[in-house]
Structure 1
Amino acid sequence: MGTYTDFAGVYDTFMDDTPYEEWAAYLLELLGEYGVAVPKITEAAAAERSIVVDLGCGTGTLTQLLAEAGYDMIGIDNSREMLNIALTKREKSGKDILYLHQDMREFELYGTAGAIICVCDSMNYLLEEDEIEQTLRLVNNYLYPGGVFIFDFNTIYKYETVIGDATIAENREDCSFIWENYFDCDSGINEYDLTVFVRATERGVTEEDGESFRRFTETHYQRGYTLDMMRSLVEKAGMEFVAAIDADTRGDVWEESERIYVIARECGKEHVNE
């Protein structure tokens, strides 16, 4: 899980065409549909239900958008570098967001939350099924009774057929990257090696260095899952499997779904410590 160190500094640059506002709007629809509503301030219990935890929040873009919609947000991420950027955004916006540097496999909260979300394929960084199950058990433990967990994941079909052994490159004025992708069918593990070039002046190097660029590399590993695998893990962790949605069509999941949203519901705490 030791990724998003140097890459954190240019993450938002390369993600600038990501439709975060559209994603946030859809998450708000799902939160409303599945019973989490922004509370009246006078209702103490409702205040707890209004808390939404963003697991794998990264640089906090989605966290900010949900905070602007009225939810009390907690962002959790395992990368200090990503969280530092999220904190800068919080300072600029003035939003009262709590950020925690924690591993999602071991995260801790001081109370319960009405909903927990985990999107942008963060769950795919969990490479073992028991890591997924442990995370789901923690989610179940920290959800308010009847609370919902909304997460997405990339499918084996996407890694094997759509991404495969591809090389992707993108050139910007101040930074560029080369993404070399490898998928192992036997293990279901997807490896992508990132090589990034960043203009040195952006990182505090003196102006005399002119067109100097700094090069760094990161290797990321993700695992593809099927819907059947995820459904089984959700239920094994003691949660109720509520629905699955194709992330692209927002309709039914099919054999060529590349990314899938799953909605799971808190279903009692008796399974958490088994």
Structure 2
Amino acid sequence: MSCYSGLAPWYDKLTGDVPYGSFADFYEEEFRADGGEFSMLLDLCCGTGTLTWELARRGYEMIAVDQSPDMLMEAQSKAVSDVTPPLFICQEAGELDLYGTVDAAVCSLDGMNYIPAEELPELFHRLHLFIRPEGLLIFDIRAPEFLRALDGDIFVDEKEDVLCLWRADFDEELSAIVYGMDIFSLEKRGLWSRESEEHIEYAHTPEKLRALLEAAGFGDVAVRHDCPQGDAGRIFITAKRK
């Protein structure tokens, strides 16, 4: 089972309730509060690029990175003529390698939860390398207690031409929630096809993330709960590149 190959064509339809505009508003509020100049942004783990394009429409030059070529194909298909297209790069987050520096990096919607704990030090080191001095890193995670509470739950998301069924099991050894996902999609002549994937989200504590960020050279680390989807176990962490 591979991650996102089967889900990519249906991701936007199944996540139509995500408030991408609120995420972009939150980032811009952080930029204004900082007082620096922010024009070039990195969207790490960009997925199908909905937030990437939202920020591009607001005038930012965008670099967007994701490990899934299928998700990036969906992202590139959203091009519009009156917006400068983002640069989409297919890379593992832990192997991040840009051509220069950015003013800020963002990582949204559990992207950081997909990174195993042992890979975070290298990722934060690379982010420190590619964010300009005094630039910002802003990302969100699902709180560990939120992920643990999902253990044993079964979820169904049904549209007229796709049904997504996923089961959540918390693995204490991994300290992660493991989702077994089946996607049923309607094809020609009324036939349905089935694809299966496995997704793993690691339970990172804000305290551990703060320590790793500071070890990588970031400062002014702040943990925020007054943020988009904060009532759904989402925590935002901001840090300044020193």
User: How far is 1:96 from its partner?
Assistant: 2.3
The one of 177, 185, 197 equivalent to 1:190 is: 177
Q: Which one has a bigger Cα radius of gyration? A: 1
| TM-score, scaled relative to structure 1 | 0.83
Q: Compared with structure 1, are the counterparts of its residues 165 and 59 closer, same or farther at alpha carbon in structure 2 (3 Å cutoff)?
A: same
Work out the CA distance in 2 between the residues paired with 1:223 and 1:93: 39
Q: 1:243 aligns with which of 192, 217, 222?
A: 222
Query: Contact 1:157–1:257 (CA<8 Å) still a contact in 2?
Result: no
Cα 1:182/1:121, change in 2 over 3 Å:
same
Question: What aligned pairs does 1:25-104 form with structure 2 within 5 A after superposition?
Answer: 25-37=25-37, 49-91=38-80, 94-104=83-93
Give the match's secondary structure for 1:53.
strand
Task: Write out per-residue CA displacement over residues 161-205 of structure 1, whole angstroms, 9 at most, x where no aligned residue.
Answer: 2x222000122100001110001234311100110100113xxxx
Distance 1:245 1:238 in 2: 20
Q: Verify: 1:222 aligned to 2:210, yes or no.
A: no
Q: Is the 8 A contact 2:56 2:83 kept in 1?
A: no
Report the CA distance shift for 1:118/1:249 in structure 2 as closer, same or farther (over 3 A): closer
CA RMSD of aligned residues (A): 2.0
Task: Choose which of 234, 248, 251 in structure 1 pairs with 2:213.
Answer: 234
Match of 1:259 in 2: 234
Amino acid corresponding to residue 18 of structure 2 in structure 1: T
Query: CA contact under 8 A between 1:3 and 1:218: conserved in structure 2?
Result: yes
Which one has the bigger strand percentage?
A: 2
Deviation at 1:157, TM superposition (A): 0.6
Which residue, out of 135, 140, 143, partners 1:147? 135
- Confirm or deny that 1:9 pairs with 2:9: yes
Q: Is the 8 A contact 1:160 1:185 kept in 2?
A: no
Distance 1:35 1:4 in 2: 37
Judged with a 3 Å threshold, the aligned counterparts in structure 2 of structure 1 residues 189 and 234 are, in CA distance, closer, same or farther, namely same
What whole-Å deviation, never above 9, does each CA across 1:194-224 have from its counterpart, x for those lacking one?
10100113xxxxxxx2x11111100011111
Give 5+ residue unaligned stretches, structure 2: none
Contact 1:53–1:75 under 8 Å retained in 2: yes
Distance 2:184 2:93 in 1: 30
The 1-side partners of 2:194 and 2:77 are apart by: 25
Matched, 1:22 2:22: yes
The total of aligned residue pairs comes to: 242
What letter matches 1:215 in structure 2?
R
